[in-house]
């Protein structure tokens, strides 16, 4: 029997790559996206366009922070929750209201729906931002203590805690996957790789922050999709994983 998987944030960078992978591997997919104005809706619709003719793909434009999800979707086997308001710098000031709505309230409503509809597994896209300015490198899920230093990172850590307490109180099976900065085809236009390539192609300047000596690890999109796919059949349940690179095992 074909498993039916809900992918939230399906029109986004990671979401559209994940939908492609799932459809290619014979899953049925229900995509959800609210087409937020963080970047162009035109880009997101383009991301979705290859899947709209598939009989195993259904799409709903819906804001998960609002009631009414049950009117459109009544059952699924697994939820992969990618939808969120991204960005560390943008999470300060009055914009924090958006992060609370999209990263906390939306998740809580989706967890409630999952319990009521007896979802088999809930996979939550968290972030390396939960660690903040850690001195422990490489980071370790079991040793590195999450101490976020941004409102965005705080909302992601709150999301992990929501998943944990819904497991403790309602036995909802969950995985929290901490993504590092992801790059690859169809990347968000606000990310560094997109800006670098756009500057190179157009001959315009690239704004460099700091002294240029900073280092940072990035994760290729295929590695992220590999990591997510592994959670579909992992035996260890209700835990947190870092996703850093592809391979037969992932950290």
Of the residues 38, 99, 131, 152, only one is catalytic, namely 152
Non-local (6+) Cβ contacts of 125 within 8 A are 9, 14, 80, 81, 82, 84, 177, 179
Output Rg (C-alpha) for the chain, integer angstroms: 18
Sheet with 174-179: strands ordered across: 57-61, 28-33, 4-8, 78-81, 121-127, 174-179, 239-243
225 token code pair? 């999709």
How many CA atoms lie less than 13 Å away from 138 in the CB half-sphere? 9
Measured in degrees and rounded to the nearest 5, phi and psi for residue 15 equal -60, -45
Largest CA distance in the chain: 56
166 is catalytic: no
As annotated, the active-site residues are: 152
């Amino acid at each position: 029997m074909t498993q039916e998987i809900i992918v939230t944030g399906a029109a986004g960078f990671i979401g559209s790559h994940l939908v492609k992978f799932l459809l290619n591997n014979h899953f049925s997919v229900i995509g959800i996206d609210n087409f937020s104005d963080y970047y162009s809706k035109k880009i997101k619709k383009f991301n979705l366009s290859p899947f709209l003719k598939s009989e195993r793909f259904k799409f709903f434009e819906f804001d998960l922070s609002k009631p009414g999800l049950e009117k459109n979707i009544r059952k699924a086997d697994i939820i992969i929750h990618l939808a969120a308001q991204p960005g560390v710098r943008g999470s300060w000031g009055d914009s924090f209201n958006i992060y609370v709505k999209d990263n906390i309230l939306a998740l809580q409503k989706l967890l409630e729906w999952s319990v009521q509809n007896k979802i088999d597994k809930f996979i939550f896209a968290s972030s390396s931002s939960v660690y903040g300015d850690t001195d422990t490198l490489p980071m370790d899920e079991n040793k590195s203590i999450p101490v976020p230093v941004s409102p965005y990172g705080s909302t992601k850590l709150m999301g992990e805690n929501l998943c944990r307490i819904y497991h403790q109180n309602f036995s909802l099976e969950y995985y929290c996957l901490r993504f590092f900065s992801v790059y690859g085809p169809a990347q968000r236009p606000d990310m560094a790789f997109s800006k670098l390539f756009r500057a190179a192609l157009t001959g315009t300047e690239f704004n460099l922050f700091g002294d240029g000596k900073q280092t940072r690890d990035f994760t290729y999109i295929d590695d992220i999709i590999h990591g997510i796919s592994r959670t579909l059949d992992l035996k260890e349940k209700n835990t947190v994983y870092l996703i850093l690179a592809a391979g037969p095992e992932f950290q």
